Amino acid sequence: MFYMDPGLILSPRSLDQDVCQVANFCLPWGASIESWSVDQDHPQPNHFTFVLTNEVYQRLYGVAFTFHEPYDINKLDMDKCYRLGADPELLFPSSGSTAVVHTVDELDPEEKAKITARQKHFLRSRVGDRVIGVTKTICILSRWSFPVAFTNFLAFFYSRCFPGAKNDPVPLER
């Protein structure tokens, strides 16, 4: 596992400093790059609700939806490969090395179909027998408490924007 500092991508200009610290709160396990075996299912998204109270006892309600996205394997270096348990020879083959690259292609069609069905959109971040993913969180903050409605909205938003969406996925940045 490789950890990164979480940050706020979009925020209104009028937010006070306390709200800007929510990025650290919405990722309680930290922003991380993780790897798992191609034989395992990818981590499922989860959500949680929280209430923040400032020094004048004003409440701010939040819902966070945490999920994994495929990691761009072009951003991996040797150190990250070792930390994630991925074989760096598959990404950075040395000139005299006979790397294990060919063993991935030696899988029978049934095995390939199982891996494809299990990993779906994560296949593009596959390195040998490992799949690399990064945690992301989307969050809604409100002065009013509507946790069920916000959770349902974030789940819908995630299902429409994620690359594995069945009906025309919409880019999250849009």
Average pLDDT, the chain: 73
Most confident range (mean pLDDT) of 1-5, 17-21, 58-62 is 58-62
Compute the distance between CA of residue 137 and CA of residue 31 in angstroms, rounded to an integer: 9
Confidence of residue 70 (pLDDT cuts 50, 70, 90): confident
Inside any domain, residue 14: yes
Range with the lowest mean pLDDT among 45-54, 65-74, 101-110, 112-121?
Answer: 101-110
Inside any domain, residue 51: yes
Number of domains in the chain: 1
Range with the lowest mean pLDDT among 50-64, 94-108, 144-158?
Answer: 94-108
**Cβ contact 102:77 at 8 Å:** no
Inside any domain, residue 166: no
Q: Exposure pattern of 125-151 as b/e (b: 16+ CB <10 Å)?
A: bbbbbbbbbbbbbbbbbeeeeebeebb
Task: Quick: pLDDT tens for 93-104.
Answer: 665 554 444 344
Inside any domain, residue 171: no
| Predicted structure pTM score | 0.69
Inside any domain, residue 170: no
Inside any domain, residue 167: no
Q: Which tops the pLDDT comparison, 119 or 80?
A: 80
Say if residue 170's pLDDT is above 50: yes
Distances (CA, A) of 148 to 44, 138, 140, 141: 19, 15, 12, 13
The domain in which residue 121 lies consists of: 2-161
Confidence of residue 162 (pLDDT cuts 50, 70, 90): low
The pLDDT score that the predictor gives to residue 173 is 57
Inside any domain, residue 129: yes
Inside any domain, residue 15: yes
Task: Quick: pLDDT tens for 106-132.
Answer: 666 776 676 666 666 777 777 888 888
Say if residue 72's pLDDT is above 60: yes
**Cβ contact 91:76 at 8 Å:** yes
Confidence of residue 88 (pLDDT cuts 50, 70, 90): confident
